[in-house]
Amino acid sequence: MVGAIEVSTEWYLVLSAVLFSIGTVGLLIRRNPLVMFMCVELMLNAVNITFVAMGTELNDVGGQIAVFFVLVVAAVEVVVGLALVVAINRRRDGATADDISVLRG
Amino acid sequence: MVEAVWLIPAFPLAGFVLLMLMGPKLGEPRAGWLATLAMGGSFVSSVVVYIGLLGEDAHDRQYVQTLFEWVPAGDFQVDIGFLVDPLSVTMTLFITGVGALIHLYSIGYMHGDPKFSKFFLYLNLFAFSMLMLVLGDNMLLTFLGWEGVGACSYFLIAFWFTDEANASAGKKAFVTNRIGDWGFMVAMFLMFTTIGSIQYTDIFANAAGISESTATAITILLLVGAAGKSAQIPLFVWLPDAMAGPTPVSALIHAATMVTSGVYLLTRMNGVIDVSAAWAPTTIAWVGAATALFAATIAVAQNDIKKVLAYSTVSQLGYMFLAIGTGAYVAAIFHMITHAFFKALLFLGSGSVIHGMDNDQDMRHYGGLRKLMPVTSITFIIGWLAIAGVPPFAGFWSKDEILAFAWEDNVALWAVGFITAILTAFYMSRQVFMTFFGRYRFADVRPEEVEELAATKVQAAENAVAEAEVGIGGAEEAVVKATEKLEKAQEKLVTRETEMADADASDEKAFDKATKNLDKAKDGVEKANVAAEEATAAVEAARDAVRTAQAQVANVAAASMGTGAIEFDLFNAPNIGEMTDDDLPEAARARREYHPHESPWQMTLPLVVLAGAAMVAGVMNLPFTSDLHFLDHWLEPTLVHPAHLTSSASVKWILAIVAVMGGAVGIAAAVAVYLRGRVPAAKIELPLLARGWRYDESISNFMGGPGRKSFDLVAWFDATFVDGAVNGVGRLVRDGGGQLRRLQSGLVRSYAAMVAIGAIALLVWFLSRANF
C-alpha cells in the first residue's frame, strides 16, 4: 500500500460536522424556501453520517437503525414541506421565506 | 319491623312530591288531607319501628339501614342511611304524632287561604327534613335535615310575604341560623379530622379516645350550632319574630320540633361532651339557665298572645339546655317531649283564639272567652297547668326532674331554674286570665282609636279654618272689584252729565239720547253701590266663619283632651266621656256586632288529643321507684354515662314541694294582679321588659354603627388586597405576554437562528463541563 491513509472515524465525524455547519449557515442566510429545504436535508444527512460512523466504531447496529428513522422522518418532512412550498408559490410568485410572516404575534 | 324505618321519611317526601305535582289541582281541602294522611302514615310507621325495637334486648337496640352511597370521596364516605335507636325513635314518634295533629289542625286554620296547598307542601317538606335530621346515621345527613328544616322555617315564617314585616322576619331567622350552622359545620370537620368518620356508630365507638381539648372544641362548636337552632342566648332573637308565620307553623316548627333539634344534637353527641373539659357542659348549663330566666322576664310584659308563647318556648328550651349541661340527658328529652305536647297545645289554642277573634293577636282585646270558646279554653287551661308545673300534669314531672339535677350540680343553677319556674307560672297565668277570664273587652273602644278619632276631628276643624281663610281672601277680592266698578260707574255718570249740559236743547234727538245715557249711568252707580255693600258684608261673614272655625278647633282640642286620655283597663269599660255611639269609630261599632266563635272540629280535635297527652305524659318517667323510670331505661343504651339522682327521697320530696309552691306563688301573684286588680299591671309590665331588655335594638345599633364600619373595612381589605393580588397576577401575565409576543415575528429564519443559538449555547455548556 502506497501512502495509504487510514480513514478513521474522526474523519467521518469531521465531515459530518462540516456538512452540518454548511447546512446550518445555509438555512440561516438563504431566503429561498427550496434552498432552505435542501439545507435542512444536508443537516439531517450530516447527522446520519455520524450515526453510521459511530455505529461502526462501537460495533452497534443501533446507529444504522437510527438512520432509518431519520430517513423516514426526512421523507415525511419533504412531502409536507414541498407541498407547502408549492402552495406558497401558487399564491405568491417568487416569495421568499421572509415575505411569509402572517403568523407574526 | 325496624326495617320499615325508611317509610318514616318516605311518607312526607311522597306527600311533598305529590303536592308539588298536583297541589293546586287538588285544592282545598283535599291537599290538606293528603298531607295529613302522609303524616299519619309516617306516624304509623314510627309506631311499627318502635314496636320492633321494643322486641329487641336493651343493648341490641341499634339498627343501621343504609340505602345507598351518597358521597364516596376517597377516605370520606357518607351514606344515606338511618340509625334506629331509642333516641331517634323517641324523636320520630313525637315529631310524626304531633306533626300529624298539627297538619289536621291546619286544614281548619288555613281555610280560605289562597296558598292553601302550598302551605301543606312546605309542611310535608319540613316533616321530611326533620325526620332526616333525627334519623340520619351520620352528621352530614343530620346537617342536611338541619338545613332543610331551616329553609322550610324560612318559607313558612315568610309565608304571607306580601307583608314586609313577615318577609324580614323570615330573613332574620334564616340569617341568625347561619351563624349556628357555622358552628355545626366546623364541629363536623373537626370530628372528621379527629376520628376519620362522621358516622354516628363510629363516633360512639371512638368518642372515648378523643383528646380532651378536641372534645371541648367540638362541644362548644356544637353548642353554637344548637344555640342557633334552639334559640338560646345569644342567638335567640329570631324566634320571637318567627311568630309572623301562620300559627300551626309556630306550633310545629317553632315550639314542638325544629327548635328542639339542638337538644337532640347535643344528646346524640353525649359521648363527646362526656370527654370534654368540665367547663364545657357547665357552659351549656349556664347558657340554658340564663336563657330560661331572661326569656321568662320578657314574656311577662308581652301583649301579643303568640309573643308570650314564643318567649316561653325560648325559656323552656333553656331548661333543656340546663338539663344537658348537668348531664341529665333523659330529663332533657323528657322535658322536650312533654313540652312538645303542651306547647303545641298552647300554640294551637292561641291559634284557635286568633281564628275566633278575627285575627286579633293582642291579649288586651280578649277577656272572658271562656264561655265563648269552651273547648279551646278548657284545653288551653290544661296546657297552662302543665307548663306552670302543677302536678300531676306533664310539665311538673319533667321540669321537676331538671330542677332536681340542677340542685345536685349547683345550687345557683337550681335557683335560676326555680325563679324561672315562678315567672313561668306567672306569665302563663297572666295569659290565661287576660284571654279567657275577666271582662269581655273585644268590643271596647281602644285608646289608639280614640286618639285617632280626636286627631281626625282636630284635622277637620283645622281644615275648616283654612277654608274659611281662603273665603276671606275671595271676599276681599270681591270688595276690591266692586269698589273699582263703582268708581268707573261714577266716572261715567260725570261724563254723561257734561254731555247733558253740552247737549243742544233744540236737537231733540241728541237731548233724548243724553237723558237716556244719564239715567243708565245713574242706574249703574246704584248697582255698583249695592254690589260693594254686598261684598263688604261677605267679607264680614267670612271673618265670622273663620272665628267660628277657630273656636271649633279650640273646642275639639279641649274635647279630645277629655276623652283622648282613655287608657287600657282590664277591669272597667273605657270612659268615653260625652261621646255618643255615633261618635265612635266605625271599627269599634263593627266589633260590637262581632261574635267570637269556637273553631271547627279539625282544629278542636288536635287540641283535645294534645290536652290528653299534656295531662298524662308524665307517666313516661315517674320518679317514685326505679321501675317507673320508663324513659330512663328506654334511652339508657344511647347514653355513655346515664345520670341518676343521688339525693335521698326526702330531699327530692322537699324539692318537689318547693317547686309546686313556687308555681303556686306565680299563679297567686297573677290572680292578684290580673283577676283581682290588687296591683296595677303597669308596675310589672315594665317597658324595658316589653322591649326585650333592648337586646334586639342593641344588636341593630351595634351592627349599624361600629359593626357596619368594620364590615366596610373588611370589604375595603377584600377589594384592595385580595382582589388586588388576584388582579395583579392577571395583569402581570398579560403584560408579560405582551412583551413576549414580539418574539413571534413570523420569520422562519429568525426562529431557526434562535434554535441554532440555543444549540450552540448547549454545546458550549457541555464542552465547558467536559474533562478532556
CATH class of A9-91: mainly alpha
0.80 exceeded by pTM: no
Distance (Å, rounded) from C-alpha B117 to C-alpha B27?
6
Q: Cα distance from A3 to chain B (closest Cα, Å)?
A: 31
Q: How confident is the model at residue A44 (pLDDT cuts 50, 70, 90)?
A: very high
How many CB contacts within 8 angstroms connect chain A with chain B? 33
Return the sign of the alpha-carbon dihedral for residues B693, B694, B696, B698: negative
Question: Does residue B124 contact residue B16 with C-beta atoms inside 8 Å?
Answer: yes
- Pick the residue from chain B with its C-alpha nearest to A97: B748
Measured distance CA(B275)–CA(B212) in Å, rounded: 6
- Work out whether the CA dihedral A31, A33, A38, A39 comes out positive or negative: positive
Q: Is the peptide bond before B12 cis (omega within 30 degrees of 0)?
A: no
Task: Give the pLDDT confidence score for residue A34 in this predicted structure.
Answer: 87
C-alpha cell of residue B672: 292578684
What pLDDT does B671 receive? 92
Q: What is the dihedral of CA B572, B578, B580, B584, to 10 degrees?
A: -70
Closest-CA distance of chain A to residue B769, Å:
20
In this complex, do B752 and A28 lie within 8 Å of one another by their Cβ atoms? Answer: yes
Residues of B in contact with A35 (CB under 8 A): none
A97 to B741: CB separation less than 8 angstroms, yes or no: no
Among residues B85, B403, B431, B128, which one has the least CA distance to residue B257?
B128
Mean pLDDT, residues A5-17: 90
Distance (Å) of CA A101 to CA A97, B180, B186? 8, 64, 60
Question: B523-549 pLDDT, tens per residue?
Answer: 888 888 888 888 888 888 888 877 887
Touching A: B residues 729-748, CB under 8 Å: 741-748
Is the pLDDT at A2 greater than 70, yes or no? no
Taking residue B169's Cβ as centre, other Cβ atoms within 10 Å add up to: 22
Name the residue facing A97 among B741, B744, B748 (closest C-beta).
B748
Nearest to A98 among B747, B753, B756 (CB): B747
Closest approach of chain B CAs to the CA of A72, in angstroms?
Answer: 22
Q: Answer yes or no: do A104 and B756 touch at CB < 8 A.
A: no
Q: Which residue of A has its CA nearest to B741?
A: A105
Question: How far A53 CA sits from the closest chain B CA (Å)?
Answer: 20
Find, in chain B, the residue whose alpha carbon is nearest to that of A24. Answer: B756
Each residue's pLDDT tens digit, B24-52 = 888 888 999 999 999 999 999 999 999 99
pLDDT in the model for residue B565: 56
Specify the pLDDT at position B462: 82
Question: B266 with B306: CB under 8 angstroms?
Answer: no
Asked whether the beta carbons of residue A28 and residue B744 sit closer than 8 angstroms, the reply is: no
Contact A104/B749, CB-based, under 8 Å? no
Q: What is the mean pLDDT of residues A40-60?
A: 93
Nearest CA in chain B to A101: B746
pLDDT of B557 reads: 63
| Torsion-angle region of B231 (φ positive above 0: left; ψ -120 to 50: alpha; else: beta) | left
Predicted pLDDT of residue B388 = 92
d(CA B289, CA B314): 11
How far apart are the CA of B734 and the nearest CA of chain A, in angstroms? 14
Give the relative orientation of helices B394-409 and B279-299 as an angle to the nearest 10 degrees.
Answer: 130
Question: Looking at chain A, which residue has its C-alpha nearest residue B754?
Answer: A28
Residues of chain B with pLDDT under 50: none
| Contact call for residues B291 and B314 (beta carbons, < 8 A) | yes
Sign of the four-CA dihedral B43, B45, B51, B54: negative
**Which of B741, B745, B756 has the CB atom closest to A28's CB atom?**
B756
Instruction: List residues of A whose CB lies inside 8 A of any B CB.
Output: 24, 27-28, 31, 36, 97-98, 100-105
Whole-number Å distance between alpha carbons of B369 and B92: 35
